[in-house]
Chain A
Amino acid sequence: MAAQKQEKSVIWDWLTTVDHKKLGIMYLIAGTLFFVKAGVMALFMRIQLMYPEMNFLSGQTFNEFITMHGTIMLFLAATPLLFAFMNYVIPLQIGARDVAFPFVNALGFWIFFAGGLLLSLSWFFGGGPDAGWTAYVPLSSRDYAGVGLDFYVLGLQVSGIGTLISAINFLVTIINMRAPGMTMMRLPLFVWTSFISSTLILFAFTPLAAGLALLMLDRIFGAQFFIPSMGGNTVLWQHIFWIFGHPEVYILVLPAFGIISEVIPAFSRKRLFGYTAMVFATMIIAFLGFMVWAHHMFTVGMGPVANSIFAIATMTIAVPTGIKIFNWLFTMWGGKITFNTAMLFASSFVPTFVLGGVTGVMLAMAPVDYLYHDTYFVVAHFHYIIVGGIVLALFAGLFYWYPKMFGHMLNETLGKLFFWIFYIGFHLTFFVQHLLGLMGMPRRVYTYLGDQGLDTFNFISTIGTFFMSAGVILLVINVIYSAFKGERVTVADPWDARTLEWAVPTPVPEYNFAQTPQVRSLDPLFYEKIHGDGTMKPAEPIQPIHMPNGSILPLIISIGLFFAGLGFIMMNMDNPIINPWIVAIGGLVITFGSMFVRSVKEDHGYYVPVEQVKADLKKGGN
């Protein structure tokens, strides 16, 4: 039969896949690699700050590390790790066979990856960017920053395109691909928060792209948007950056909220308290997230009126966030709680996130921010949000969804050990940084003088980092150990959970659902367990399933973009080996050429025949 899928080599299969589950795993691997890379930089920075006047790193290297650490963690680790779960879980949770545009999904991954590689390439061309992840002008202008910053600009520009198209894909998927009965107000909260976070990407990555384009024009083509001596405005960059930058924080934290809202009900054996309030709180947070950007700029001199407005707008975010916190607490209240590793991470998220939120409100008080600004207090605050919030949620999600993704459990003993070491290390590292900040230790400095009262806390902070590193090593050991010795999972629903991803067999067939399920309630699987026979009712007969073919074009398109970006960067190099224009235009030709091929070549996909579906059903059970 012409429509049958052909056998392919494993590597070719992964390079050409358009399957959302495989792409999810690819995001997971890529994100982890970048996470470890940026984590090692953090470790090195902390070692440098362990004792006063250390000489472990030079000031220049420290600046490059601090910039790359922040940039990589936010754009190339946290975002893709969340995308990993979104990719894997969203289609399953809404009862879909795939995302709306599988080809675009693969394209999003490869473009993000190409941008990440481009950024990382800076080490081989005279050092990384060194102006902080915010790249404030004039530090980042051509007068002060070398070619490393061009890697920052174009690497982020390229990977931003990937993020943007993936987000649009999620939006269309959630709008159009829901199973019958899966109304918007029955969406699991992880889907809701991913939906809203994708909206934020849509509206926030566009100003970032515009800002980066302007900076590129300034740096490479001699424009003067941000150069005061030529009539430009440096503060404009700060505004554009934070119009993107503040929503970015919510882009990351909202899906993290979603993960917590899945894990806590599952292991408290109760439905999520206040579902509707949770949904609307998420929307309000997202909207307010756009209107508070200038709280990063109180010290710029915007004047008392503007400072007050932005201060108050910022504090209002505490209200919907508080609603969410209380709803999680009420969900756990009176529940039959199982404290396995996933639940340990999820429940410890709540107090650490609250601590980060409290310091956030403190920072929002404009007059006091003159004191906190650019001290370690800020560093402590955002790491309580980012590590104590997002990273803990990511670990909770990892332990929760691991059996579905890989067909075996992660070891619980190693997992709990990992949790405690990491959690203690986290507080050791970052709690004392509040105090360092109040004592006046500035942020983004590579060393400090001794006997100023800063020695002990810096030392403790670094010890905490060793703990966290040990924790992550333990996680790696756990992953390897469990791959060989871990408890195999063949049942669909190892946690006795509530949502649709636990209704598909493990391992998940490539078409997810043999028959699209009929959704009758919120927490559809749990509803069937109580009111039905515990399995989802099909909404359609067994029929041949239409699947998309894999394609190598996403990879080629992103290779083209990689070289296009590299070409622009080379224009600022002293002696590029080849003419930069050749590289840039060559790259664009590859990209648009393969887009053209994609448009004219007909590819109607293939069918999984009924006999195959029935055979799978007999094996797995649905």
Chain B
Amino acid sequence: MADNLSQPFDKSAMTEEEKRQVNKEIRKQIVVFALMIFLTIISFLAVGADIVPRSFAIPFILLLAVVQFALQLIFFMHLKDKDHGWATAFMISGIFITVPTIAALMLLIGVVKY
């Protein structure tokens, strides 16, 4: 028993169903990844090529940033998955701590214009 376990497996230990699940997950991640790169390109174009008007550029980029952040959390940080209770708890407590910290910091050093 001990011997064969220390050899690499020649065949994957996953069932067909598990493999299908993993493939689906990979496809999803690639799509989201492409989407996020697309969003990044848009925001660069928005400023670099003056596609959106000056006054609207900053809120527009911030909007894109929020969308990206959400995608990042949901798909890459596994916020959507079940059985990630602990990871989710840590993410939420992280947000719970960082948001007031950054807000207070901005107030204190007087960042009032964005």
A positions within 8 Å CB-CB of B? 1-3, 171, 175, 199, 202-203, 233, 235-236, 239, 243, 287, 290-291, 294, 302, 306, 544, 546, 602, 604-607, 609
Contacts and interface: CB of A to CB of B under 8 A. Distances in A.
B66 interface: no
A602 B8 CA distance: 8
B6 A239 contact: no
Contacts, number: 52
B5 A604 contact: yes
B13 interface: no
Nearest to A283: B93
B108 A287 contact: no
| Interface SS, B side | helix
Given A199-B90, A544-B1, A604-B5, A239 B97 contact: no
Interface residues of B, number: 20
B50 to A, nearest CB: 25
A602 B105 CA distance: 47
Contact of B108 (A306, A602, A604): A306
Given A235-B109, A243-B105, A606-B2, 18 more contacts: A1-B3, A2-B6, A3-B2, A3-B3, A199-B93, A203-B97, A233-B109, A239-B105, A239-B109, A291-B101, A294-B108, A306-B107, A544-B2, A602-B8, A604-B6, A605-B6, A607-B6, A609-B2
B48 interface: no
Interface string B8-31: 100000000000000000000000
Contact of A1 (B2, B104, B105): B2
Contacts of B59: none
Which 10 residue pairs are nearest across A and B when measured between Cβ atoms?
A607-B2, A3-B2, A604-B6, A3-B6, A290-B97, A175-B86, A602-B8, A544-B2, A239-B105, A203-B97
B101 A606 contact: no
Nearest to A605: B6
A605 B2 CA distance: 10
Contacts of A302: 108
A609 B5 CA distance: 13
B44 to A, nearest CB: 22
A2 B4 CA distance: 10
B85 to A, nearest CB: 10
B8 to A, nearest CB: 5
Interface in B73-114: 86, 90, 93-94, 97-98, 100-101, 104-105, 107-109
Given A199-B93, A233-B109, A544-B1, A243 B6 contact: no
